[in-house]
Chain A
Amino acid sequence: MLRTGRFVTFMALAGLMYLYIPIFIMMVLSFNGSRLVSVWGGFSFKWYGELFSNDQLLNAAWLSIRVAGFSATLAVILGTLAGYVLTRFGPFRGRVLMAGMVAAPLVMPEVITGLSLLLLFVAMEDFIGWPQGRSITTIVISHATFCMAYVAIVVQSRLAQMDGVLEEAAQDLGARPWRAFIDVTLPMLAPALISGWLLAFTLSFDDLVISSFVSGPGSSTLPMVIFSKVRLGVSPDVNALATILIGFVGTCVFIYSWRAGRRMRMCEDA
């Protein structure tokens, strides 16, 4: 175990406070009865009431959930194949290009991705008549494309940890490659696929910039609605929405890390 001094501990805790204080403040403000940030108007649930009577926000949230679900599923299928091909297939022609294409979306500025995909969709509609206009379909394709890069990274690192011995054994015993993949590789990959799906879902659910480029009229996702609201300043029902989302994600992440930590401790004790 690495030893560090008091200075590192102090700096690290200060850094974590920097990460958490704004989130904490936003959560407290969501229960503030006053519309003003600097005035405490008593504890109240009124912004939550306002949030759940705002049809525009609720419709956008439902659209975002559907988009994120489809995109994440598509991204997991494509990303798993990409990650598997890159770690298990050895050299093939164009492998370097593929590795580059899988890594590049991680750093590509969103405005470039959004603009380029929109221009592609416009050109495709011109040439082959599909996709007709911009809709949920174009958002899902765009999100799946940048999310599959994240899934591929998660799958690649998981595959690098497991050696290929079990897959080879299955093939030595006569299983075709795809049988070995389905019966041996996939079950071992399952945790990575679940976290990849959740990551892709979150990234798609949060995306503002790419969606703004490739969505059509009537398909405003939740971040697009939030952005147009908060551009004009603080809006208390957005605080309430943020508290619900962060509370939900926070609970999931902490249950997961607590269980992982407990499993780890049991391994250490054993």
Chain B
Amino acid sequence: MSAQQRLNASPSPARRRKSWRLGRNSVIALPYGWLLLFFILPFAFVLKISLAEADMAIPPYTALVEWLDETTLTIQLTFSKYQLLLEDGLYLSAYLNSLKIAAISTIFCLLIGFPIALFIVSRPAHARFFWLAMVMLPFWTSMLLRVYAWIGILQSNGLLNTFLMNAGIINQPLVLLHTDLAVYLGIVYSYLPFMVLPLYAALEKLDPALLEASADLGARPAVSFFTVTLPLAVPGIIAGCLLVFVPAVGEFVIPALLGAPDTLMIGRVLWDEFFANRDWPMASAVAIVMLIVLVAPVMLVRARETATRDEA
């Protein structure tokens, strides 16, 4: 059937527009509905259960809304979990410690990742795939296994201690595993690819002519770096820092495997409240507060982005 015939055979424009609208809306509705149901709605339940009490039942929390008899409906909300969050110093220090660990790790990711991204951009185009693959490969392999690899290196009879003792640098094995240092090493190590990729994407767009112009005008390489390269990489830096910082705050696996038993990180506190104490309402309250702490910086960045886009 030729296109002309097909056009002639098609229904009237009005009906066609109507069916087009319907089709368009259903294409939007499928992913939209899925995300509303499985991404947004769950937060409502976290909020709801954070206002309940823990109970020896299945599921282990009290009902918020209950029919006392045929005519009386009671609603019981308790803010005791939030009160406990504020009063018990453990939770507060876990939040602060997570923010600190995530912030310092993000800075180190940036310091280590920036030269890698610059280096890849400075390669000829056909070689960039190889170097990008070198950075991507760890991203494609199990994070759990890569974190686990550090246990063998850092433990007291591990490779690093054996090496240092054989080299005569130390006499006694150092305590490296189950320390904060190990947590930093693990987080920077695991999240480095998430920093390099957005940096690479930003630097790739940088026009080398700008740096040549800057050099022609007498700027030393360091000056060019701070006045040309760095400002143009800002979108990549922001994206990379968000991709590292936000998940690192809630990180569970790395502090659980490499951290000390008293390395307080909020992701681990949530996990223990849920799995060890079976206190679902407390775990939910911890999650809600973490969400508020984390959503604020993301919203700020987004607002900034839209503002700069509107200016442009």
Contacts and interface: CB of A to CB of B under 8 A. Distances in A.
A253 B136 contact: yes
Interface in A40-97: 78-79, 81-82, 84-85, 89, 92, 94
A84 B23 CA distance: 14
B146 interface: yes
A196 interface: no
- The SS class assigned to the B binding surface is helix
A137 interface: no
Contacts of A4: 118-119, 122
A165 interface: no
- The SS class assigned to the A binding surface is helix
A141 interface: yes
B35 interface: yes
Contacts of B221: 5
B126 A38 contact: no
Interface in B57-76: 59
B34 A38 contact: no
A19 B185 CA distance: 11
Contacts of B79: none
Given A81-B27, A110-B250, A242 B287 contact: no
Contact of B31 (A78, A92, A107, A234): A78
Contacts of B10: 174
A85 B27 contact: yes
B141 A249 contact: yes
A264 B148 contact: no
Contacts of A26: 145, 148-149, 152
B287 A111 contact: yes
A111 B284 CA distance: 10
Given A25-B153, A98-B35, A234-B155, A112 B45 contact: no
Interface in A147-161: 148, 152
Residue with the highest number of chain B CB atoms closer than 10 Å, among A89, A152, A209, A226:
A209
Interface in B9-29: 10, 20, 23-24, 27-28
Contacts of B97: none
Interface in A11-44: 11-13, 15-16, 18-20, 22-23, 25-26, 29, 36-38
Interface string A104-126: 11111111100111011011000
B146 A23 contact: yes
B121 A15 contact: no
Residue with the highest number of chain A CB atoms closer than 10 Å, among B112, B140, B150, B189:
B140
B294 A25 contact: no
Interface residues of B, number: 101
B112 A18 contact: yes
A177 B35 contact: no
A14 B155 CA distance: 23
A246 B141 CA distance: 6
Interface residues of A, number: 97
Given A4-B119, A111-B250, A38 B162 contact: yes
A257 B144 contact: no
B160 to A, nearest CB: 10
Interface in B173-197: 189, 192-193
A245 B149 CA distance: 14
Interface string A244-270: 011001100110111011101100100
A23 B147 CA distance: 10
Given A22-B149, A123-B45, A177-B20, A101 B155 contact: no
Given A8-B118, A234-B152, A265 B126 contact: yes
A119 B250 contact: no
Contacts of B128: 261
A139 interface: no
Contacts of A122: 45, 59
B149 A206 contact: no
A213 B129 CA distance: 37
A178 B27 CA distance: 10
Contacts of B35: 82, 98, 101-102, 145, 148
B119 A109 contact: no
Contact of A242 (B112, B136, B149, B159): B149
A119 B46 contact: yes
Nearest to B24: A89
Interface in B232-265: 242-243, 246-247, 249-253, 256-257
Contact of A2 (B39, B46, B121, B137): B121
Given A2-B206, A122-B45, 13 more contacts: A1-B208, A7-B115, A16-B135, A81-B30, A81-B31, A107-B242, A112-B46, A199-B140, A223-B144, A226-B145, A230-B151, A254-B137, A260-B129
Interface of A: 1-5, 7-9, 11-13, 15-16, 18-20, 22-23, 25-26, 29, 36-38, 78-79, 81-82, 84-85, 89, 92, 94, 98, 100-102, 104-112, 115-117, 119-120, 122-123, 141-142, 145, 148, 152, 173-175, 177-178, 199, 202, 205-206, 208-209, 212-213, 223, 226-227, 230-231, 233-234, 238-239, 241-242, 245-246, 249-250, 253-254, 256-258, 260-262, 264-265, 268
